[in-house]
Amino acid sequence: MADEPVKGPASYFPSIEKKYGRPIADWLDLVKQRLPAKHMELVALLKTEHGMGHGHANAIVAYALAAPPVQKE
């Protein structure tokens, strides 16, 4: 249903974009460029190198890791 609120990691996306001034696509690309890496290694990267809070970093990493990989032709 179109009127249902966004749930899960994506529910953090509007506040992440507002607080850190970059679109979510940028953060997801940054995480995906570091693969393969463990979840908490990626969270630590966002926290230490980009000053992101734990909850926001965790949401981005969880979403990025749950997304199916892009197929290259």
Q: What is the pLDDT of residue 6?
A: 79
| Domain locations in the chain as residue ranges | 8-66
Q: Say whether pLDDT at 1 is over 60.
A: no
Q: What is the pLDDT of residue 69?
A: 63
- Tens-digit pLDDT profile for residues 6-58: 788 889 999 999 999 999 999 999 999 999 999 999 999 999 999 999 999 99
Distances (CA, A) of 64 to 2, 3, 42, 49, 51: 23, 24, 10, 18, 19
Q: What is the pLDDT of residue 70?
A: 57
Q: Say whether pLDDT at 73 is over 60.
A: no
